[in-house]
Amino acid sequence: MISPAASKALDAFLARHAALAGASQNTLTAYRGDITDFLGFMTTHKGGQQGLSPLTQLTVSDMRSWMASLRSDGLSSRSLARKLSAVKSFYRWLSEHEGFDATAVLSARAPKFQAKLPRPLAQDAARAVLETVELQSQKSWVGARDTAVMTLLYGCGLRISEALALCGQDAPLPQTLRIRGKGDKERIVPVIAAAQDAVESYRRLCPFSIEPASPLFVGVRGGRLSARQVQKVMEKTRLQLGLPATATPHAMRHSFATHLLNAGGDLRAIQELLGHASLSTTQTYTQVDTARLMEIYNRTHPKADLTED
């Protein structure tokens, strides 16, 4: 358990982070969990003392003890780096707010890890997913629903959370959708005819009344469809088609971006469609190699045609 003072400080930090950084609710929830776990460990580690004072006097040794504890629990380097990032953000704010030196925390080094590159599906595999996903349910309306969701992921590049956030008032789908994504950022996404048709097929078969303010995609009991259910149907589809474990719902979004790029799509336009704040994120997301980047550079950069005298 953390002290009331520490809990109050954490609440204030998250409120400020939400206001200034525009963090999503998922990000704030993850931050709260990671920082609460850290403060709980340090409260026990420092002898169960209450108040903020012990937490403002952490040493390098204290940080090493925390990281060693996580390691002994089997936490991966990637997850440990994520937790440390959240803790540093909190302590950077707390040190300014309380006026103490947080060097011991801020200087802690995250373990090195190899970033996992996204693995898009081949075009024929993505097409096979869309054709097969409806076969995973004995109820025709559920099959139509799952097909509609997957078509939005692959055909429009939506995140699962974005597709499941659609409401009845969004249907029938227009030619463009205003999507509110990560960090509460808005973007305009073109909607292909296949996605419009898939959603309408689902709506015709759905046994539940979909009101304007209610979720567009519902579960078998009529409540909002969960991301986990989408993941489960993708697992069944993947096994039926013999696809690798990397064939996830999110991989359909990866595939959308990669296939657009391979077809000659502009990298910055794809960045806008995906809702990425940084072009470097899009480059990683679409597995753009150096040769492909140079090709885009030479074709589009205003200085690319200049030659040396």
Rounded mean pLDDT, 38-47? 87
Backbone angles phi, psi at 272, to 5 degrees: -65, -40
So what's the pLDDT on residue 207? 96
CB 289 within 8 A of CB 262: no
Task: Tell me the per-residue pLDDT of 48-73, one tens digit each, with 9 for 90 and over.
Answer: 766 788 888 899 999 999 999 998 98
Q: Following CA atoms 10, 15, 19, 24 in sequence, which dihedral angle do they give, to the nearest 10 degrees?
A: 80
* SS3 at position 12: helix
Summarize pLDDT for 136-148 with one digit per residue, the tens.
Answer: 999 999 999 999 9
d(CA 244, CA 223): 31
**pLDDT higher for 17 or 239?**
239
What mean pLDDT value characterizes the chain? 84
Active site residue: 78, 232, 236, 250, which one? 250
Q: Which amino acid is at 218?
A: V
Residue 112 annotated to the active site: no
Percent of the chain having pLDDT more than 70? 80
Three-state DSSP class for residue 224 = strand
The helices-and-strands tally (H runs, E runs) of the chain is 14, 2
Q: What is the pLDDT of residues 147-177, one digit of tens each?
A: 999 999 998 888 899 999 999 999 999 998 8
Q: Is-cis flag, bond preceding 172, omega within 30?
A: yes
Whether residue 17 lies in the annotated active site: no
C-alpha dist (Å) from residue 289 to 117, 261, 293, 296:
12, 12, 6, 11
Asked whether the beta carbons of 86 and 33 are under 8 A apart, the reply is: no
> pLDDT tens digits, residue range 77-114?
888 888 999 999 999 999 998 899 999 999 988 777 55
Q: Let me know if 212 is exposed, middle or buried by CB neighbors in 10 A (0-12, 13-18, 19+).
A: exposed
- Bridge partners (DSSP) of residue 167 are 215
- Distance set, CA 93 to CA 16, 68, 80, 101, 109 (Å): 9, 25, 20, 11, 18
Q: Exactly one of 32, 82, 119, 182 is catalytic; which is it?
A: 182
In whole angstroms, give the CA distance from residue 262 to residue 265.
7
Give the residue-averaged pLDDT of 206-229. Answer: 94
Query: How far is it, in rounded angstroms, from Cα 285 to Cα 273?
Result: 13
Active-site residue among 31, 154, 202, 285?
285
Angle among Cα 165, 166, 167 to the nearest 5 degrees reads 115
Q: Is the pLDDT of residue 307 over 50?
A: no
AA letter at 230? V
pLDDT band at residue 35, thresholds of 50, 70 and 90? Answer: very high
**CB proximity list for 28: less than 8 A, separation 6 or greater:** 14, 17, 18
**In degrees rounded to 5, what are phi and psi of residue 143?**
-60, -40
What is the tens place of the pLDDT at every residue in 237-253?
999 999 988 899 988 98
- The verdict on whether 203 is a catalytic residue reads no
pLDDT confidence of 229, banded at 50, 70, 90? very high
Using 50, 70 and 90 to split pLDDT, how confident is the model at 128? very high
Mean pLDDT of the 259-287 span: 65
232 part of the active site: no
88 is catalytic: no
pTM over 0.75: no
- Whether the pLDDT of residue 225 is over 60: the answer is yes
Catalytic site residue 182? Answer: yes
Q: Is the dihedral of CA 57, 62, 63, 67 positive or negative?
A: negative
DSSP 286: T
Furthest C-alpha separation in the chain: 73
- pLDDT greater than 70 at residue 41: yes
Write the CA distances from 120 to 253, 265, 309, integer angstroms. Answer: 8, 16, 43
Active-site residue, selected from the candidate residues 83, 203, 253, 254: 253
Q: Which domains, from first to last, does the chain contain?
A: 4-106 (1.10.150), 123-297 (1.10.443.10)
Helix (H, G, I), strand (E, B) or coil at 116: coil
Single out the catalytic residue among 83, 145, 159, 238: 159
The three-class DSSP label of residue 248 is: coil
The neighbouring-strand residues paired with 224 are: 218
pLDDT band at 226 (very low <50, low <70, confident <90, very high): very high
